[in-house]
Amino acid sequence: MLSIAAINPKFNTMILFSNRNAWLYLTFLFIGLNACSSEMPLEEPQATEVANQRLSPVPASGTVMMQAFYWDVPAGGNWWEEVSTKIPSWNHAGISSIWLPPFSKAQNGPYSMGYDPMDYFDLGEFNQMGSVETRFGSKNELLNLINTAHTYNIEVIADIVINHNSGGNLEQNIFTGTNTWTNFTPASGKFNRTMYDFHPNDQHTHDWGVFGGYPDLCHHKTYVQDWLWKTDYSVANFYKTIGVDGWRFDYVKGFEPWVVKDWIHHNGGFAVGENWDGNAETLEWWANEANASAFDFACYYAMNDAFDGNDLNKLNSDMLWKRNAYKAVTFVTNHDTDEIWNKNLAYAYILTHEGYPCIFYSDYEEWLDKNKLNNLIWIHNNLATGNTSILYTDNDEYVARRNGYGSAPGLVVYLNNADFWQERWIETNWSNTAIKDYSGHSAWMPTTQSGKWVKIQAPPKSYSIWSIK
């Protein structure tokens, strides 16, 4: 048995339970009853109704994140208003933060997804790059969205693109001997840039990475640092004044991790970096150097191999959340990559394990069963506590236990990738205690033995999640 000691009170232990009603934590003891009988027939049970309401407002730091966009959301300036209408239901489901796309004016104006930034201070109020509004809407609509999110105690995470810029004018570049698109005179009148602010320049020729041939910002320049994060007139401080609570840093392979660390030092807030690397050790190194969280690509690729490759032993692989759950943002898909087909098992995995899970907008609103996702969010926010012990794996079975924290009970999750019902004896956190499947997939309500053992089951290509009744 592999035990992973990484209790995460910020994201899904102590904070989550500080405001919960006491009834959730009571353990009902039944002395003398055996666990689920081995003679119980293995047959498809009737689904049971599972409570799916929040007991109290979820704290606004580190519970479940919603990526509130997908690639090529409808153009026309209505996206901020669309997302605003979702906030009440997302709050009711247990979402505690929303990650918004880059919201400043970009080169492609009303058609841009924001990853080609031109004017960081134009949030949809200046007539440049072919429009006043951005693809997503106006500045006032953005501010209304942020205020609505805060009304419901939901944090706003801004997508920050600071590796590269786009939309500048041509200038004769003395460092390249050619004409380059490095002369930026944004309509906001803030953060004008020239060849001296990009690579190569009079300070050095390059940094860690260039993206798409765009002009590559030089973060060693004091002028660039001051305008991006160090001063009261910086981009970071401007975003803070409109209500931004945290940061998602795009393409962090393009600049050194000290940039993110210094940004957080001057401005605070939760931060997560997109370090697109499947090596858990590399992710941990970057997160430590940047003093930030990282998207757990190691977990993502392991889930793809496990669920789509029909080998759940792959879930024994090294992942960032196993090394440091405080630093791991887990996810099933995002706007850039969508490889996992068996998403139901993947969401059951990230919403019962340690780390800070992120749900993709299209999965939640369009592609998957919203009620099942809401149920998993409820389970995550109310039951998924303590460190993790992996109890059993084979090609199509995976069983893990969250060991609870304080009075919080923990859970057992059983993932079944086979085409038929399966059952297994496992060791729980509880002796002589009635338990049930909070996913509603199994009607069994067994009682654990005095030695904490019990038999549980899981439906084909699905999961069950067990905790105290």
CB atoms inside a 10 Å sphere around CB 57: 14
Annotated binding site: 163, 226, 232, 396
Q: Could you tell me the two tokens for 262?
A: 């210094």
> Tokens at residue 54, please?
């929040």
CA-closest candidate to residue 293, choices 266, 257, 244: 257
Residue 111 in this model has a pLDDT that exceeds 70: yes
| Residue 206: predicted pLDDT | 79
Q: Count the residues in the chain.
A: 469
Q: What is the pLDDT of residue 211?
A: 73
DSSP letter for 109, please.
Answer: G
Residues 6+ apart with CB under 8 A from 285: none
Residue 17: which pLDDT band, with cuts at 50, 70 and 90? very low
> Residue 141 half-sphere exposure, CB side, CA atoms within 13 Å?
21
Q: 387, 378, 382, 315: which is closest to 346 by C-alpha? A: 315
Across 203-212, 282-291, 373-382, 402-411, least confident range = 203-212
Task: Give the active site residue among 274, 365, 397, 423.
Answer: 274
Computed over every residue of the chain, the mean pLDDT equals 88
pLDDT attached to residue 205: 83
pLDDT digits (tens, 9 = 90+) for 219-228: 999 999 999 9
In terms of pTM, does the model score above 0.75? yes
Annotated binding site for Ca(2+): 163, 226, 232, 396
Type of residue at 115:
Y
Q: 425: alpha, beta or left, given left = phi > 0 and alpha = psi -120 to 50? A: beta
Tell me: pLDDT of 194 over 80: yes
Write out pLDDT tens, residues 129-141: 999 999 999 999 9
Which residue out of 155, 250, 296, 354 is catalytically annotated?
250
Q: What is the mean pLDDT of residues 252-277?
A: 97
Predicted confidence (pLDDT) per residue in 52-79, tens digit:
222 222 332 348 999 999 999 999 999 9
- Residue, of 405 and 371, whose pLDDT is higher: 371
Q: Which residues of 196-221 are buried (b: 16+ CB within 10 A; e: fewer)?
A: bbbbbbeeeeebeeebeebbbbbbeb
Residue 442 has pLDDT above 50, yes or no: yes
Band of residue 102 on the pLDDT scale cut at 50, 70, 90: very high
Would the pLDDT of 19 be above 90? no
pLDDT of residue 212: 75
In this predicted structure, what is the pLDDT of residue 271?
97
- Domains along the chain with CATH numbers: 9-27+57-101+136-162+219-385 (3.20.20.80)
Q: What would the mean pLDDT of 97-118 be, rounded to a whole number?
A: 97
- Quick one: pLDDT at residue 408? 85
Confidence of residue 31 (pLDDT cuts 50, 70, 90): very low
CA atoms of 339 and 214, how far apart (whole Å): 27
Mean pLDDT, to the nearest integer, of 440-458? 97
Q: Is the pLDDT of residue 287 over 90?
A: yes
Average pLDDT, integer, range 360-378: 97
Beta bridge partners of residue 360, listed in sequence order? 67
Mean pLDDT of 417-432: 97
Q: What are the pLDDT digits (tens) for 134-176?
A: 999 999 999 999 999 999 999 999 999 999 999 999 999 999 9
Read off the pLDDT of each residue in 329-357 and give the average, rounded to a whole number.
96
Query: What element of type H or E holds 259?
Result: helix 257-267
Verify whether residue 274 is a known catalytic residue. yes
Share of the chain above pLDDT 90, in %: 83
Token digits for 278?
């499947």
Distance of CA 393 to the CA centre of its chain: 25
Structure token pair of residue 260: 């993110």
